[in-house]
Structure 1
C-alpha cells in the first residue's frame, strides 16, 4: 500500500485536498472531451456537414458503450474509496480484480451485440440515406476497439478513486494526445475520412488501456494492485459494484435514448443538417458537463473516504464546496454560449450557412437554463458517493427520461424545431426543483449526524 495517499485523504484540509484533486481531474476531463470534439472538428472541415450528421447517429451508441464502462468503473471506484476509508485493503483489492474481469466481459458483449444490431440502431438514431455510410464506416471500427475503451476509461477511474489523481490525468493526456496527433494524419494525410478518425480513436484507447493496466500491476504508487486470485468473479462483489454503478449507467443509457429521440425529431422538423447541428451542440454540452464532472471526480474519493471513516462534517464541507464551484462554472459557460454561439459553431464547420443558423439557435435555446444544471450534477454524484444508488438513479432519470422524453414527444408537434430545442430547458427547470427537495431533506439528516458527533449515523 502507498501510505502517503492514505494519510493524504485522512489528514489534508478539505479545500486543499479538493483543489489538489480537481486540477488533474479537470485537465483529464477537458482533454477527454477532446476525443469526440477533435473528431468532429477534423471531419467537419475535412469531409463535410453530412459526415458530421453521420457521426451524430453514432454518438448515442458510443454513449451506451461508455455506460457499461461507467457501470463498473464508477461503481467500483466508489466502493474502493469507501473501503480505503475503512482500512479494508483486501476488500478494495477484490473490487479491483472483479472490476477488470467485468469490464472485459461487458466489452465482448457490447461488441457482439453491436455488430448484430448496428444497422437498425443507426437508422433509429437518425442516420438517413445521405449519412448512413459515414455512420457505418466509423462505427465498424469503434466496435472493434470497445474493449480498449471500456477497460481504459473504467480502470482509470479506479486510479483516481485510490487517490492518484495526477496519474489518472497523465493517462488521459497521453491517450488524448495520441488521438489529436493521429486524427489529421489519418484523415488528411492518408485521406481516410471518417475511418481515419475512428482508427485514431481506437489506437489512443489502446494506449490508455495499456497504461492503466501497467499502473495496477507494476507501479509502486498504486495503493492496491491487481492479483490473479482477485480476477475470479465473486457475486457479492459484482452486486457490490453494480448497486452503485447502476446510477451512472442508467444516466448514460438514458442519455442515449434521449439522443436517439432527439435525432429522429430533428430529422422530422429540421432535416439532416439539424442532426449535424446537434452533433456540434453535443460537443459543447459534453465539454461543459465534463468540466462539472471534474468536480465530482475530485469530490468522490474524498466523500467516499470520509463516509467510510464516519467524518460527516468533512463530507458536508466538500459537498458545498463542489456546489459553489459547479454553479460558478455553469454561469460562466452560459454567458459564453449566449454571447458568441457563432464563434463556437465556426470551429466545427464554416462552409454551410444553414448549418450555422440551426446550430446557433439550438445552442442558445438548449443551454438556456445551464446555470442550474451544475447543482443537479453535483448533488446526484453526492448521493452516489455515499452509497444511495437508488436516489442518485432517480435524480439522473428525472432530468433525462421521466421529464425530457415526454416533452420531446409533445412540444415539437406544436412548435416544430423550436419545440425540440425548448424541451431541454423546461426539463432542466422541473428536475432542478425535484433535486432541490431531495437535497434539502438529505441535509437535515446530515446535520443531525454532525450535531450528534456522528454517533447516529453509519
Structure 2
C-alpha cells in the first residue's frame, strides 16, 4: 500500500507546483505523473530487493512453467477489465442521443463516482490476499467471515457516502456549473442511484474470491455479462421510457442482476472450494493472491 500511497502524495504535491507555481500547465501535470510513477516504482522495488531477495536470475525452463500458471489468471483478469470500457461506451452512446447536457451530466458522475467510492475499489485489491492467505493456511471459517464482512462493509460505506452526496448534491452541482438536465442527472445519481454502488462493490468482492480460489473465468464472464447483457437492453429500454434519466436508471438495474449472481457464486465457491485448491492446503500455509498460484510458485522456488 505504501508505494501507491506515496505515489499519490507525490502527484498531489507536484501538481500545483508544476502546473501553477512554475506555469508549466498541462505538461507540468504530465511530469508530476511521471515523478509519481517513479516514486511508486522505487518504493515497491526497494523492499523487494533489500529485504525479500525477490529477484533471481531467470531460467528459461522455470520461466516457461511459471508463465503458464500466471497467464491462466492474467488473461482472464485482462478480459474482465476490458469489459468495463465496453459498458461505458454503450452507456455513452445511448446518453448522447439526449444532447450535450446529458453527456456532461454523465461525465461529471463518471469523475465523481471513483472519488466518492474509492474505498470500495481499493477493497477489491485488499480482500484477495486476506482470503488467499487464510484459505492457504486452512482457515476456511475465516475466509467465509472475511467474505461476509466485506459485503457488510460495502453496504455500510455506500449508505454513508450516499447520505453525504445527498446532503451536498447542490454544492457538487455548483462546483461543475451544472444546469438544467446536467444538474438533474447529478441529483438523480446523488440520490438514489448512488446506492447501486453497493452492487458494484459486491462484484469487486466476489471477483476477488473468484481469482483467489482458482476460478478467474467466473469474474471474466460476469464482468462481460454485466457490461453487455446487463447494460445495453436496460439502458435502451430506460432511455425509451424515461429519456436520459432512464439511461442511468437502466444501468443501475442491470448491475443489480449480475451483482446478485456474483454474490451467490462467490458464497457458493467459498462454501465448496475447488478440489484442486483443497489439495494444496496439505502443503502448509500458502501466501499470495491465490492459493493455486502461491502453491505453484512455492514448488518452483524449491526447484530453483
TM-score between the two structures when normalised by the length of structure 1: 0.53
| Residue equivalent to 2:179 | 353
Distance 1:197 1:419, change over 3 A: farther
- For residues 371-386 of structure 1, the aligned pairs below 5 Å read 371-386=198-213
SS of aligned partner of 2:228: helix
Cα drift, residue 178 of structure 1: 1.4
Gaps of 5+ in 1: 1-167, 449-453
- For residues 423-442 of structure 1, the aligned pairs below 5 Å read 423-439=250-266, 441-442=268-269
| Residue equivalent to 2:29 | 197
CA distance in 1, matches of 2:121, 2:170: 26
TM-score between the two structures when normalised by the length of structure 2: 0.76
| Residue equivalent to 2:91 | 262
Deviations 1:105-162 (CA, angstroms, capped at 9, x unpaired): xxxxxxxxxxxxxxxxxxxxxxxxxxxxxxxxxxxxxxxxxxxxxxxxxxxxxxxxxx
1:306 aligned onto 2:140: no
CA distance in 2, matches of 1:414, 1:263: 17
CA distance in 1, matches of 2:183, 2:205: 32
| Residue equivalent to 2:17 | 185
CA distance in 1, matches of 2:173, 2:18: 24
Alpha-carbon contact 2:209-2:266 (below 8 Å) kept = no
SS of aligned partner of 2:16: helix
- For residues 103-142 of structure 1, the aligned pairs below 5 Å read none
| Residue equivalent to 2:288 | none
Distance 1:233 1:440, change over 3 A: closer
CA distance in 1, matches of 2:70, 2:222: 19
| Residue equivalent to 2:295 | none
Cα drift, residue 360 of structure 1: 3.2
- Report the more deviating stretch, 242-251 or 176-185: 242-251
CA distance in 2, matches of 1:331, 1:212: 34
CA distance in 2, matches of 1:290, 1:343: 20
Deviations 1:12-34 (CA, angstroms, capped at 9, x unpaired): xxxxxxxxxxxxxxxxxxxxxxx
Alpha-carbon contact 1:365-1:421 (below 8 Å) kept = no
Alpha-carbon contact 1:250-1:393 (below 8 Å) kept = yes
CA distance in 2, matches of 1:242, 1:289: 30
How many pairs align?
A: 276
Deviations 1:87-114 (CA, angstroms, capped at 9, x unpaired): xxxxxxxxxxxxxxxxxxxxxxxxxxxx
Q: Which residue, out of 239, 247, 256, partners 1:412?
A: 239
SS of aligned partner of 1:229: coil
CA distance in 1, matches of 2:270, 2:49: 41
| Residue equivalent to 1:22 | none
Cα drift, residue 427 of structure 1: 0.9
CA distance in 2, matches of 1:233, 1:284: 45
Distance 1:352 1:408, change over 3 A: closer
Cα drift, residue 230 of structure 1: 6.1
Cα drift, residue 426 of structure 1: 0.9
| Residue equivalent to 1:344 | 172
| Residue equivalent to 1:402 | 229
| Residue equivalent to 2:144 | 316
Deviations 1:355-380 (CA, angstroms, capped at 9, x unpaired): 54443334446424234443332122
Cα drift, residue 333 of structure 1: 1.9
CA distance in 2, matches of 1:198, 1:278: 25
Cα drift, residue 403 of structure 1: 0.9
SS of aligned partner of 2:243: helix
Deviations 1:26-68 (CA, angstroms, capped at 9, x unpaired): xxxxxxxxxxxxxxxxxxxxxxxxxxxxxxxxxxxxxxxxxxx
Alpha-carbon contact 1:296-1:322 (below 8 Å) kept = no
